[in-house]
Amino acid sequence: HEFVPTRKFLKLAEETKDLVDGWNVTDSAAGFPAPAGTVVSCILKSKYPEKIVIPIFILHYKGPVEVGGLALASDIIGLDGLALTMGDKPAYGEPIKMLPSSEKAREFLSTKVKLKNLKLGCLISARRSAEDNI
């Protein structure tokens, strides 16, 4: 279930917990400020340890130190993974491009941060729309 955090995310989690196996948590969807997806994910995993919780991890909004810190917290809490993606450009300011791709971020997290158990994945998007391919 895609979980879009708002100020009332704990209430939303309580309302949906019996309907889902877990949540993939968005990270400032469409580039607008929202409760941080990784922080929300850590809270959800602590409150509902039996649920699968995987945050979408938008690299356009984070530098390497924050990427490493959030990934370490995710590893310590026991999140089920991180879905790395460049994501939407921020609605305010400019994209942070210190980690230029999901692959470079994965390499950084594996070699420099040395995560212990956290699984790293990615999101796949079609290059062309479905209509263009039909």
- Domains in the chain, number: 1
Distance of CA 60 to the CA centre of its chain: 12
The answer to whether 62 and 98 have CB atoms below 8 angstroms apart is: no
In which domain, by residue range, is 8 found? 2-133
Strand partners, 55: 25
CATH number of the domain where residue 19 is located: 3.20.20.220
Strands 22-25 and 2-3: parallel
pLDDT per residue as tens, the chain (134 positions): 899 999 999 999 999 999 999 999 999 989 999 999 999 999 999 999 999 999 999 999 999 999 999 999 999 999 999 999 998 899 999 999 899 999 999 999 999 999 989 999 987 766 677 677 67
